[in-house]
Every structure is written in C-alpha cells, then in structure tokens.
Structure 1
Amino acid sequence: MFVRRRPHLREKVTLITGANGEVGHGLIQHLYALQDASDVVVLDLRGLDDSMRGMVNRVIVGDILDNELINLLLNEYEIDTIIHLAALLSTHSEFNPETAHRVNVQGTINLLKLAIEQGKSRGLPVKFIFPSSIAVYGMPDLETKARVTAVKEEDFLYPITMYGCNKLYCEHLGRYYAQYYQQLSASRSLGVDFRCVRFPGLISAQTLPTGGTSDYAPEMLHAAIRGKPYACFVREDARIPFMMMPDAIKSLLMLADAPQEQLNHYVYNVTSFSLTAQEIAERVQQNFPDAQITFEPDTARQAIVDSWPADIDDSAARREWNWSPEYDADRAFSEYLIPIITELASHEK
C-alpha cells in the first residue's frame, strides 16, 4: 500500500526505514520543522501514524526484504540519504534468531546495495545512517567490567546476543560497502558514505517499555508513578550506560549533518550517563517515597546486562562532530522522565 503527498519521478529524497517508531517520528518531525529541501519517504511494515503522514512525501507499507520494493525505490527516487532504523529488536531476536538474521542482516545488505546503485546513478555516494547498539560488546567477566571504566569502539567486541551479532556484522558490512565494495573489479563502484551511531540503553518517557534488556530503568518509574510494586530483573549493582530518547534522535541528526572531511571513523559510541540499578531505584524513591522496588534477578537477562560495558567512551564523537547530550542523569529524571511519565499516567485515571 502506498500513500502519496506529491508524486515526482526521480525526486531527491531521504529514505527512513522503520519510521513508525519513536526514533522515526522524532526524525520526521525534526526534518519537517526544518523544511528540509530533501523530501522524506518512509518505509515501515506498519505504515505511519496518521498524525505524521502530512509531514512526509510518501508512505510505503512494505518489507525491506522485498526485492521488488527495493527496485521500485531505485527506479522512482534519487535517494541522497538512507536512515536505516528497521530491525527486529533484542528480545525478539533471541526468540527468533534466524528471522533476526534475515531482517537485521539481509535487510541491511538490501539497503546498502540500494545505496550503491543510487550512488552510481547520482555520481555521488549515498549517506547511510545506521543505529547500532551496546549489544555489540561482550565483557568477558565482571572483574574486567569493573576494571575497564569506559570501553572504546574497537574493544571487547564479543556479543552474546543475536541482536548484538547482527549489529556488529552490519557495522562491518557498512565499512566494507564504504571502502572495499567490489575491490577486485576493474571498474569499482562508488562506495557508500556509511555513518554509524552505537547507542547505549535508550530510555523513553513517551512510550511504555516493551520488555527490552535495559527496560528495568523505565519500568521502575512507570510502576512507581502508578503505585505498583516492581521486581527488578537485574542485581542492584548492575551498571550500564544510558541515553534519553531525545538525545538519541539528536545524535543521529548531528552525525548525518557532519561534514565528511571531519569524520575519521565509521562507527561512533554515544552516551549520556552510567548508573547502577540501585542508583536508579534511589532516584525513583527520592521522587516517589512509597515506591516498592525489589530485586529479583533473572539469570538469563542478568547475563546479558553483565556482558555489556559499565560505560562507553564517546570521545571520538565529541571530538569529530561535537557530540554532547542534553540530558545528564539529573536532568533526565527531573526534566524529562518524571514530568512526562507522570503526565501520561494522569490521563489513564
């Protein structure tokens, strides 16, 4: 199913896949507010919320594994930027690893090939923005996790989840398509301008947690605000880095806008702050003294969190494209999470 606003053949556009999530909505709203010269075409299995449809050129309901659809995009549009958000997320990937591989890896290859073909017709490389994850890391043990304060992009890349394996492989695919694609050919294709942001645990005030591995943080708040007890599925001392959703959207836009000559890496860590589960619980209880929070670690989910770094080093992003988050831990709770979740909960009564 296709929904058009203004049909034009070979119109210059930005393509956003997986656009009907919160990151996609944020990107669409930002680009619309800027009145960007590049129109936006969105692709999602679920289409796009009605409130968003007037902000984009075209809504395509479809699958990134559909080769006919990829060919349609190639023939109808001049795509100068692809923001590839579509993915099967962490928890679902563990239950369906083969499906996750098809969606997360083959889907990414399909879009990288689209970018290559678009580059040929344009004579310019297509910008390919890819969100990766802290799940690409795999700390060998808790002693090492405690000793290494902030992990760099190239360290401890031994993921223990299918999602992490998929994301790490796709980072390497991006580097390959950018630098080495058809390297033995007599006439090599123009590469892709691949740019990747590696996210920590993301927290949103706008949407309910959906069982993700780092969702214990927002789950505590949602339960406390609604006066419900909460049993946290990780230990009190479990520590990982976090970022608020508005900063995640900001980082993607900043990297997309950065001049290519300033960039010396394909993959960049970004982060805001690092807290233990106990420190999160204490912040929740400071604001909601009656909050009932206990700790009942789930062995499997705890093992995944233990494999992630306690913190990540985002100095390359800060140095090369001036990355800086809006929300530290204090502002995240006082100005974003608590007021917005409280407001949303009030409408449920």
Structure 2
Amino acid sequence: MTTPTPASPARRPVTLITGAQGEFGHALVHALSEHSDTPIVAIDKDPIDPALARRCAESHALDLTDGAALDALLDRLHVGTAYHLAALLSRSAEERPDLAHAVNVEATVHLLRRFAAASHERAEPVRMLFPSSIAVYGLPTRAAKDDAQPLREEEHTTPITIYGCHKLACEHIGRYYATRLGASWKEPPAARVDFRAIRFPGVISAETEPRGGTSDFAPQALHRTARGEAYESFVDEHARLPFMTMPDAVRALLELGAAPDDALTRRVYNVGAFSLSAAEVASRASAHFNGVRITYNPDPARMAIVNSWPADVNTDAARADWGYTPEHTLSRAFEDYLVPGLRTHH
C-alpha cells in the first residue's frame, strides 16, 4: 500500500471543473472564483472563453474521451474537489448514443478510478460533485404522471432515455466507489471518493439560452420572447416539469459540496423550486414582454420523454440533511431574476 505523503507547494489542492464552457460551467466558475481562494482548473472539449479562463488558474481544451490526455493532466494535479459537469444532454444523447456512453459513463468512471486512487494514496477523500437529472425517472404514462405526488429519490427510477440511463448508472457507480470499493480487499483503502450527486430539474438561466435538453422549452420560450421573436414549442401547452433558476442550482451544488459528511444520509438528492407548464411559461412571458408569439407543434419523441419525467420532485431529504432552500420561488424567479436578467441581456 502506498504511503500517503503531504502535498508540496507545487501540488496545492485545486478545484477541477469539467464541462466548464457550458452554461452551468460558466455560472459555477464565476461563483467559485468570487467566493473561494482555491485555484480552479477548467476543462472542456471546446476552448474556454478568455474572460472565463482569466478566472481560472488553468484552462484546457480536452476531450474527456481521450483517456491519455486526461491522465496526463490529472497526473500533475492535486484535485481536492471536482465538479464533473461534462455530459451529452438528453436530445443529443438520443441522437448519438455511443458517443454519449463514452462521455457520460466511461469518462465518469475514469474520473472515479483516478479519484479513488488519489484518495487512497493521500488518505484523504477527493470530493466529487455530480450533476444528475430528473431524466433518471420514468413514469409509465402521462396519466400516471398527472396522478403522482412529487417523486422521492427512490421512486420510478426506470428511465426511457439513454441519458437518464447514463445518469442513473453513474449515481450507482459513484455510490459504490464512495461506500463499497475495497470492502473485500485484505487492506481496505485509506480513504474513498466522497461522491455526492444532485438530481437537477430543468434549470433556467437569464444569461444563456440552452441547447440539447428536453426541458429547454421553458428557457427557450423566455429568451426568444425577450428578444421579440416568435417561438414554436416542441411540447404541448400542458407539458409540465419541475424547474429552478441557475443561481439556485449553482448554490445547491456548492451547499451540498460544503455539507459535513456526517450530516448526509444519502449520496443522491433531489432539488427543485417550482413546477411550470408550457402554457404557464407563455402566460408569464406575456405578462412581462410585449408581442409574445408562442405556438405549439409537439414533437412525439420529445413529448414521450417529458411525459415520463415527473411534474415535480420531493426535496425533503436535501432540506433536512443540508438545509436546501431555493431563493427563487416561482414569483421571485420571474420578478427578481428572470425578467430583469432577460431585459438586460436582450
């Protein structure tokens, strides 16, 4: 067994963020750079925006499916905390399932292996924060969805999308690495990965318009109408999902990351703030922007996915264990964040 050694000054602990160029990555880099002195190492398959890179100690254009390149980077880093955001989202994953498996599952397991080895060698857990998704759920029919109470973490986890399957698989693998890896070894590991996951609902940002996700009907409608453009929704007016704002999503991930280990009763938590239908999005948009033109042309494949996801989720565990409380309830989300932010950016 390797003897753990103290980190040298050249091996100062860093925070690693994968998928840093995405909308969540942008928001997370901003939050961490403003509230933490720990150096940030940001990676993405695309070059990092210069303004974002200036907030990081290092930034790298790196494909996570290139294991050799990833290993070369990790070999010289002392990762204390990792935010593994990189993923192919639901629609993109359906279109390219093999690539999605490589990115969403194989790269995640590669990171878990490396962090497990580092945790053992240093006798100190590497903390890995993993954004999961309501895509892990799979309600059998729209009627079942309409009748369901807000879903708890263990209910209806039979996803119908490959993205949901990937996220659920990584939740289980992460839990294994955190609690069971090495249990049958002659000498158990000195420390295991501290894996923590959040199942996010749809996330709405006032700054960026998303692409590639199935919950995008809400943020896309808001951004298009704020620009004075027409929007054709790919779901019908009755389609309903849970949502939260981007600031609340980032805050939740940071709060879970900061929670004492002995306060946590599980490795995976639901979060959410409010439930919205496509018609309610249109109504809210009409109340704040002029000339709103939203029509509905439901795509059967995407409607099937939305119908399998819950209208709302139960967040009791997150509230009890680490004090999760969203700042932006439905009214506050629009009045304090979305409408002012959309007007500023458009």
In which range does the TM-score fall when normalised by the shorter chain? over 0.9
In structure 2, C-alpha distance between the alignment counterparts of 1:80 and 1:35, rounded to whole Å: 13
1:291 aligned counterpart, secondary structure: coil
Letter in 1 for 2:31: H
In structure 1, C-alpha distance between the alignment counterparts of 2:40 and 2:327, rounded to whole Å: 26
- Counterpart for residue 135 of structure 2: 135
2:342 aligned counterpart, secondary structure: helix
In structure 1, C-alpha distance between the alignment counterparts of 2:36 and 2:317, rounded to whole Å: 30
Is 1:30 the equivalent of 2:26? no
Q: Does structure 2 conserve the Cα–Cα contact (< 8 Å) formed by 1:47 and 1:61?
A: yes
Q: Does structure 2 conserve the Cα–Cα contact (< 8 Å) formed by 1:78 and 1:122?
A: no
- Counterpart for residue 175 of structure 1: 175
Is 1:271 the equivalent of 2:272? yes
Deviates more, 1:205-214 or 1:261-270: 205-214
- Counterpart for residue 192 of structure 2: 191
In structure 2, C-alpha distance between the alignment counterparts of 1:222 and 1:250, rounded to whole Å: 23
Displacement of 1:8:
6.0
TM-score for the superposition, normalised by structure 2:
0.93
- Counterpart for residue 248 of structure 1: 249
Give 1:327-338 correspondences, 5 Å limit. 327-338=328-339
2:249 aligned counterpart, secondary structure: helix
Is 1:206 the equivalent of 2:210? no
- Counterpart for residue 164 of structure 1: 164
Identify unmatched segments of 5+ residues in structure 1.
Answer: 1-6
Displacement of 1:230:
2.3
In structure 1, C-alpha distance between the alignment counterparts of 2:20 and 2:242, rounded to whole Å: 25
- Counterpart for residue 55 of structure 1: 55
Deviates more, 1:104-113 or 1:54-63: 54-63
- Counterpart for residue 144 of structure 1: 144
Give 1:75-154 correspondences, 5 Å limit. 75-154=75-154
- Counterpart for residue 3 of structure 1: none
Q: Does structure 1 conserve the Cα–Cα contact (< 8 Å) formed by 2:201 and 2:244?
A: yes
Displacement of 1:289:
5.1
Is 1:70 the equivalent of 2:70? yes
Deviates more, 1:230-239 or 1:79-88: 230-239
After superposition, the Cα gap between the structure-2 partners of 1:211 and 1:15, relative to the gap in structure 1 and judged at 3 Å, is closer
1:214 aligned counterpart, secondary structure: helix
What do residues 10-51 of structure 1 show as CA deviations (whole Å, max 9, x unaligned)? 221111111122222222222222242x32112211232111
Displacement of 1:211:
4.4
Aligned-pair identity in percent equals: 45
Displacement of 1:253:
0.4
Letter in 1 for 2:164: G
Q: Does structure 2 conserve the Cα–Cα contact (< 8 Å) formed by 1:74 and 1:118?
A: no
Identify unmatched segments of 5+ residues in structure 2.
Answer: 1-7
1:215 aligned counterpart, secondary structure: helix
Give 1:285-296 correspondences, 5 Å limit. 285-288=286-289, 290-296=291-297
Displacement of 1:75:
2.8
Q: Does structure 1 conserve the Cα–Cα contact (< 8 Å) formed by 2:137 and 2:159?
A: yes
In structure 2, C-alpha distance between the alignment counterparts of 1:237 and 1:156, rounded to whole Å: 21
2:215 aligned counterpart, secondary structure: coil
1:217 aligned counterpart, secondary structure: helix
In structure 2, C-alpha distance between the alignment counterparts of 1:238 and 1:186, rounded to whole Å: 53
Q: Does structure 2 conserve the Cα–Cα contact (< 8 Å) formed by 1:64 and 1:111?
A: no
Deviates more, 1:161-170 or 1:11-20: 11-20
After superposition, the Cα gap between the structure-2 partners of 1:236 and 1:225, relative to the gap in structure 1 and judged at 3 Å, is same
2:125 aligned counterpart, secondary structure: coil
After superposition, the Cα gap between the structure-2 partners of 1:47 and 1:229, relative to the gap in structure 1 and judged at 3 Å, is closer
Displacement of 1:341:
1.7
Displacement of 1:343:
2.3
2:214 aligned counterpart, secondary structure: coil
**Count of matched residue pairs:** 338
TM-score for the superposition, normalised by structure 1:
0.92
Q: Does structure 2 conserve the Cα–Cα contact (< 8 Å) formed by 1:220 and 1:232?
A: yes
Displacement of 1:339:
2.0
In structure 1, C-alpha distance between the alignment counterparts of 2:14 and 2:224, rounded to whole Å: 42
Q: Does structure 2 conserve the Cα–Cα contact (< 8 Å) formed by 1:9 and 1:76?
A: no
Displacement of 1:245:
0.8
In structure 1, C-alpha distance between the alignment counterparts of 2:268 and 2:59, rounded to whole Å: 29
Letter in 1 for 2:66: D
What do residues 90-122 of structure 1 show as CA deviations (whole Å, max 9, x unaligned)? 111010001100110000001001111111221
In structure 2, C-alpha distance between the alignment counterparts of 1:118 and 1:193, rounded to whole Å: 12
Q: Does structure 2 conserve the Cα–Cα contact (< 8 Å) formed by 1:11 and 1:76?
A: no
- Counterpart for residue 225 of structure 2: 224
Letter in 1 for 2:13: K
Deviates more, 1:185-194 or 1:117-126: 185-194
In structure 2, C-alpha distance between the alignment counterparts of 1:129 and 1:151, rounded to whole Å: 22
2:196 aligned counterpart, secondary structure: strand
Displacement of 1:282:
1.1
In structure 2, C-alpha distance between the alignment counterparts of 1:63 and 1:342, rounded to whole Å: 35
What do residues 157-197 of structure 1 show as CA deviations (whole Å, max 9, x unaligned)? 01111111100000001011111113332123232111001
2:170 aligned counterpart, secondary structure: helix
2:10 aligned counterpart, secondary structure: coil
